[in-house]
Structure 1
């Protein structure tokens, strides 16, 4: 009988273990939405714009390998505003790392440029001509 009472979910109330599980996974929810990105393409280039408000450019790492652009943002400058009387009502800001990857083929790696202005990171990836043999090797 006690188990039946504990497992009830009236009024959307969760048992203590469910609440603990949800609070454990909460920091990882929505990470794919944390780095809002727009990607445009022309005949000559890709342009990637990523919202990174409040992030210093030294905390952003960019990498392009195997036709994939990787963006890694690490924020370690979280300041806890809690005072000795614990008067904080809500605290949603977190320190941590976010990473996204985008498949963008045929890029001239030596000509990639990036700039960060007003909380927006803009990455320009000039295109190269695609290879015509697509990796085919003739045997002689």
Structure 2
């Protein structure tokens, strides 16, 4: 079975040098850990969809402040205490915090809504009209 798994994954699981190189570069390849996101915009709202498979909604924190939507996810590791003989061939589950921020201006913060279904977090951010002459300063 281990040979079948190794051939299927094809990353030299038993080669100690390949494993050492993979572990060395792991901190720099965190893009596979990022929260995969789709954002679409219409005239009246932004809609943000974030993949959060296996994450309970109480482990997701959302915040909208100063035109920035912040998403923070606490992900806990899986530990198999049943395997007393140490027969685990591969364990890719990790613990840690994943966080992303998006600049989404002119949002009615009090009307933001969020749902989580089938591993996808959907956040709807209704827009407000931008302030007229926002940022313009008249010199007198």
TM-score, scaled to structure 2: 0.76
Which structure is larger by alpha-carbon Rg, 1 or 2?
A: 1
1:93-132 mapped onto 2 (5 Å cutoff): 93-132=93-132
| Offset at residue 138 of structure 1 (A) | 4.2
Q: 5+ unaligned residues in a row in structure 1: which ranges?
A: 1-15
Structural RMSD (CA): 2.2
| Offset at residue 137 of structure 1 (A) | 4.0
Give the conservation status (yes or no) of the 8 Å contact 1:31–1:98.
no
Alpha-carbon deviations, 1:87-129, whole Å to 9, x = none?
1000011111111111111101011000101111000000010
Q: Distance in 2 between matches of 1:32 and 1:133?
A: 41
TM-score, scaled to structure 1: 0.76
Alpha-carbon deviations, 1:33-75, whole Å to 9, x = none?
6311111110000000011010000000111111111111111
Single out whichever of 61-70 and 49-58 deviates more from structure 2.
61-70
Q: 5+ unaligned residues in a row in structure 2: which ranges?
A: 1-16
Partner of 1:9: none
Partner of 1:46: 46
